[in-house]
Each structure stands twice: as structure tokens, then as C-alpha cells.
């Protein structure tokens, strides 16, 4: 039986068996308190051994050898707990150590470890309070994502991870090859990709969007939810080289529909976390980021502010804030600008639209001004950009022209252009960075602490 279910039971002196890992052991004069946690919920269960009662020799020995980190099975009776903060406890009668832990060498000692240190022992960090809570919130969020789309008539599409196209046109891609790199390094000739495994130059995908578009042009509403890879050397607290992205793609939808969907989606996920992760959130609020619960509650009812990129730039230019990067029309918004817009201008989430075409991807729909595209970024206080998306260019000639301007080979994208050739429709989609979402709801400062095994420049341990 899982501890989460045991803790919800009425204590009726019924016999219960608990399996889990020992968090703490306190040996008092007459009693031994052992806190056992199985990760099924935030709390562990207190197992109280009464030395006055005749415990078997085996249990006595196990108790004396027991240390934090050991895996155990214990049997006893569920009784009301006199201790504050817990309704029930186990009046334990029997204890078996399943796997001992050497107290000297066990890396998770009683003291609070720094997040930096725990990153070095990522294989054990899920056993800590913080990472157990992150893992549960992350898992529930993934379910909520799927439920949200299922309830709204979206179909999940598994888009490929190995690809020969650069969906974002940004070039930050990892190459996938089985060519002999050592031999290539010695040879003066350029690689012959036709002799490679896929008979062409291939990469790990940066986004499932282009393939999702092909399914939206058949099933109307689809989404992908999978890992994406970017070889950007950005060593920041909100970038990973491998991250999970949720990308809905909707046919017959224009930018305002997309903005409404993004707002509804985020609010749904925040509300779901408040409801289903109460205990874990209480921990984050107390120990990780004060006010994280209040913030989520406010966001569920807040109206997201809408502003065009051009207006956002003039707001930034009017400000007296000492920006490191001067805000000028045509430049990408920096984190400090995003912070200013959400925290000072809007005091809440902001959807910035209609960016200059030069700083956005080739597939975005061109506005009548010929200068800006129907793009949107959703920015949230504290974190900045959490969602990026756009209405797509559905006009064949305009898209071909834009690709030519960017020097792209339209032959490589003929399948993508077919969508515009045959039964084209206005369509739109966005990408939500899943780790940024988990970061935001938990208040964890570093994105590397919300994914089990972070991959970033110089980091691919385990």
C-alpha cells in the first residue's frame, strides 16, 4: 500500500505494512521514531517502535542497524498520532531492512544540501524532499497537459526526433551521424552525407512544429509533446540543450484565437497544480520561493495584458530603468526587458505580438506592413518568455518569397509547401517549454533542477 493512501485512512488499529526509504531515525529512551517515505506524496509516515513492548530479536537488531537512506518494510497498526501535523502513525511491531545504507558514505546526510551539490548526484536527488516534490509536480503537469488537449478535441501526434530540416532556421542543431569522425578528421574531403546512415545530413529536432502542421492540415487540432534539442551555448538558468516542448497546432485559427488558447492553457495548468499538488506547493512556498501559491492563484483569474512589439519597445524607451541592452526597434527583447514589461508595465503576464520579421522564424505570417509578423510571445513575471508561437504563413507565394529572402532551399521543404499547395488554411500554433512551466509553478530558480537529468553545454552526466 502506498503511503499517500495510508495517510488518508481513518486510524482504526488496523494492520498495515509500509515499504519505503528511511528519512530519519530518532532513538529516544522508550521509543524509536522512524520516518519512512515512499515518494508517493510529500509526507512520510511516522513509525513508532515501543521498546517496552516485546519486539522480536530480528526487529531489535534491524532497529539498531537502521540508518537514513535504508529501504525497509515495516508492519504495525494504524493509530491516531499524538504528534502535531500528522493524523495517523504506525504503531510498528516488525521491521525488515531490505537494503542497508552505509551511513558514512551515503551522500544524502541529514543537513540540507545545496542544489549545486545535488546536481552532481542526480541519481540520488529524487530522494530528497525538494526533488521528490519537483518530480511529482512535473508528472501531474504532464497529465494535465494531455487532459487539457483531450478535453478540447486535440489529437496527440508523435513527431520525429531525427530530422533533416531546421524548423526554426536558427541553425543551433545537433548532428546525427554514424560516419567515422576520426577518419573524417584525417581526411581533407568534406563529409559525404549520402554515405551516412540516413543518406543525408540529419539532426536532432529543435521543434516538432513543421510535422505537427502537416497533421493539423488533416485533423484540425493536434499537439506534440516531446523532447527537443538545441545546441545553443547559453549557460543560463532558463536554457537546456534538451528540453520538452508542448506544441499545439490549430487549423482555421488566427493569432487572437491562439492568444486566447495560450492564456486558457496556462490558467488550466496553474489551477490544476493548485488543486492536485497542494502539499508539494506548500513546501515550495515555504522553502523555495515565498509567495509562489499566491502568485499562481492570482494568475488563474488575471487578465493577460496584450501589447504589440512596437508598443512594448516604446514603453521600454520611455522607462528610466538602467537597461544593460538599449531597447531599439528591431532587437530581440532581452530578459531584463521581459522582466520590466511583466513586473513594471503590466504587473502580470503579457502577450507581446507582431514582432519584426527579421528576428522571427521563416514560417510566420507576414503583416500588411511587410515589416512585422503575426508572432506572439507569452511573458510571465520572474521568468520571462514561457511560450512562443505565431499564425503561420498559409500563402504559398508569400512563403516561398520569404524563404528565398532567407536563402533557404525550397526544394528541401517541398513537403511543407505542399500544405499551402493543397487545401491551405489559416493556422496557428505555439510552443510551451515544459521545464519553464515546471520552473514557474515550483519557483525553482534553475531550469537544471526541474528535469531529472539536465543536458546543457558541458553537462551530460549520468
Give the footprint of ligand 4AD on this chain (CB under 6 A).
167-168, 207, 209, 230, 232, 239-240, 243, 245, 247, 385-390, 429-431, 433, 435-436
Indicate the SS3 state at residue 89.
strand
* Least distance between ligand 4AD and beta carbon 181 (Å): 25
Please spell the DSSP secondary structure of 410-448, one letter per residue.
GGGGHHHHHHHHSS---EEEEEEEHHHHHHHHH--S-GG
* Least distance between ligand 4AD and beta carbon 224 (Å): 8
Give the span between the Cα atoms of 22 and 63, in whole angstroms. 11
- The H-assigned helical ranges of 292-413 are 292-301, 309-318, 335-340, 396-405
Contact 354, 346 (CB under 8 A): no
Q: Taking the alpha carbons of 210, 215, 219, 222 in that order, is the dihedral positive or negative? A: negative
Give the span between the Cα atoms of 73 and 105, in whole angstroms. 23
* Least distance between ligand 4AD and beta carbon 427 (Å): 11
Which lies closer to ligand 4AD via its Cβ, residue 44 or residue 388?
A: 388
Which lies closer to ligand 4AD via its Cβ, residue 221 or residue 436?
A: 436
Which lies closer to ligand 4AD via its Cβ, residue 59 or residue 442?
A: 442
Which lies closer to ligand 4AD via its Cβ, residue 234 or residue 314?
A: 234
Which lies closer to ligand 4AD via its Cβ, residue 7 or residue 380?
A: 380
Indicate the SS3 state at residue 158.
coil
Contact 47, 35 (CB under 8 A): yes
The 10 Å CB-count burial string (b at 16+, else e) for 140-164 is bbbebbeebbeeeebeebebeeebe
Q: Among residues 210, 176, 179, 222, which one has the least CA distance to residue 412?
A: 210
* Least distance between ligand 4AD and beta carbon 240 (Å): 4
* Least distance between ligand 4AD and beta carbon 180 (Å): 30
Which lies closer to ligand 4AD via its Cβ, residue 3 or residue 376?
A: 376
Give the span between the Cα atoms of 302 and 58, in whole angstroms. 59
* Least distance between ligand 4AD and beta carbon 206 (Å): 6
Which residues, at least 6 apart from 184, have a Cβ–Cβ distance to it below 8 Å? 191
| Grid coordinates given for 271 | 489551477
Contact 356, 308 (CB under 8 A): no
* Least distance between ligand 4AD and beta carbon 43 (Å): 31
Which residues, at least 6 apart from 223, have a Cβ–Cβ distance to it below 8 Å? 149, 154, 155, 156, 157, 212, 246, 247, 248, 249
Which lies closer to ligand 4AD via its Cβ, residue 23 or residue 374?
A: 374
* Least distance between ligand 4AD and beta carbon 378 (Å): 8
Distance between the two ends of the chain, CA-based, in angstroms?
Answer: 31
Give the span between the Cα atoms of 40 and 53, in whole angstroms. 30
| Grid coordinates given for 140 | 501531474
* Least distance between ligand 4AD and beta carbon 245 (Å): 5
Which lies closer to ligand 4AD via its Cβ, residue 88 or residue 387?
A: 387
Q: Exposed, middle or buried: residue 324 (CB in 10 Å: 0-12, 13-18, 19+)?
A: exposed
Which lies closer to ligand 4AD via its Cβ, residue 197 or residue 252?
A: 252
| Grid coordinates given for 175 | 548532428
Which lies closer to ligand 4AD via its Cβ, residue 18 or residue 240?
A: 240
* Least distance between ligand 4AD and beta carbon 168 (Å): 5
* Least distance between ligand 4AD and beta carbon 170 (Å): 8
* Least distance between ligand 4AD and beta carbon 176 (Å): 18
Which lies closer to ligand 4AD via its Cβ, residue 46 or residue 159?
A: 159
Q: Taking the alpha carbons of 88, 92, 97, 100 in that order, is the dihedral positive or negative? A: positive
Which lies closer to ligand 4AD via its Cβ, residue 97 or residue 373?
A: 373
Amino acid at each position: 500500500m502506498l503511503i499517500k493512501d495510508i495517510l488518508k485512512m481513518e486510524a482504526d488499529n488496523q494492520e498495515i505494512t509500509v515499504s519505503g526509504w528511511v528519512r530519519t531515525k530518532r532513538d529516544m529512551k522508550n521509543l524509536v521514531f522512524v520516518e519512512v517515505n515512499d515518494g508517493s506524496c510529500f509526507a512520510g509516515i511516522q513509525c513508532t517502535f515501543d521498546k517496552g513492548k516485546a519486539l522480536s530479536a530480528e526487529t531489535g537488531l534491524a532497529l539498531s542497524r537502521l540508518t537514513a537512506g535504508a529501504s525497509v518494510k515495516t508492519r504495525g497498526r494504524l493509530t491516531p498520532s499524538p504528534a502535531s501535523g500528522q493524523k495517523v502513525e504506525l504503531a510498528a511491531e516488525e521491521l525488515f531492512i531490505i537494503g542497508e545504507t552505509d551511513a558514512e558514505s551515503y551522500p544524502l546526510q541529514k543537513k540540507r544540501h545545496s542544489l549545486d551539490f545535488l546536481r552532481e548526484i542526480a541519481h540520488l536527488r529524487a530522494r530528497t524532499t525538494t526533488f521528490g516534490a519537483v518530480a511529482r509536480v512535473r508528472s501531474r503537469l504532464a497529465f494535465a497537459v494531455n487532459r487539457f488537449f483531450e478535453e478540447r478535441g486535440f489529437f496527440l501526434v508523435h513527431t520525429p526526433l531525427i530530422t533533416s530540416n531546421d524548423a526554426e532556421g536558427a541553425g543551433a542543431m545537433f548532428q546525427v551521424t554514424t560516419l567515422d569522425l576520426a577518419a573524417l578528421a584525417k581526411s581533407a574531403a568534406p563529409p559525404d552525407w549520402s554515405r551516412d546512415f540516413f543518406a543525408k545530413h540529419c539532426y536532432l529536432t529543435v521543434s516538432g512544429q513543421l510535422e505537427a502542421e502537416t497533421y493539423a492540415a488533416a485533423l484540425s487540432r493536434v499537439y506534440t509533446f516531446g523532447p527537443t534539442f538545441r545546441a545553443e551555448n547559453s549557460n543560463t538558468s532558463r536554457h537546456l540543450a534538451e528540453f520538452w516542448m508542448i506544441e499545439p497546432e490549430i487549423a482555421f485559427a488566427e493569432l487572437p484565437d491562439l492568444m486566447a488558447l495560450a492564456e486558457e492553457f496556462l490558467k488550466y495548468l496553474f489551477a490544476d497544480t493548485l488543486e492536485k499538488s497542494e502539499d508539494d506547493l506548500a513546501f515550495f512556498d515555504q522553502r523555495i520561493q515565498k509567495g509562489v501559491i499566491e502568485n499562481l492563484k492570482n494568475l488563474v483569474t488575471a487578465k493577460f495584458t496584450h501589447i504589440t512589439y512596437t508598443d512594448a519597445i516604446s514603453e521600454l524607451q520611455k522607462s528610466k530603468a538602467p537597461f544593460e541592452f538599449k531597447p531599439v526597434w528591431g532587437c530581440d527583447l532581452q530578459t531584463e526587458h521581459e522582466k520590466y514589461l511583466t513586473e513594471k508595465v503590466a504587473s502580470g503576464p503579457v502577450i507581446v505580438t507582431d514582432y519584426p520579421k527579421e528576428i522571427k522564424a521563416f514560417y510566420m505570417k507576414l503583416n500588411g506592413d511587410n515589416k512585422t509578423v503575426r508572432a506572439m510571445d507569452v511573458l510571465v513575471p520572474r521568468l520571462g518568455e514561457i511560450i512562443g508561437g505565431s499564425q503561420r504563413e498559409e500563402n504559398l507565394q508569400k512563403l516561398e518569397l520569404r524563404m528565398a529572402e532567407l536563402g533557404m532551399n525550397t526544394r528541401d521543404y517541398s513537403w511543407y509547401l505542399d500544405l499551402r499547395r493543397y487545401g491551405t488554411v489559416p493556422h496557428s500554433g505555439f510552443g510551451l517549454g515544459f521545464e519553464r512551466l515546471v520552473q514557474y509553478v515550483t519557483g525553482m530558480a534553475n531550469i537544471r533542477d526541474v528535469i531529472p537529468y539536465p543536458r546543457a553545454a558541458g553537462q551530460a552526466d549520468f
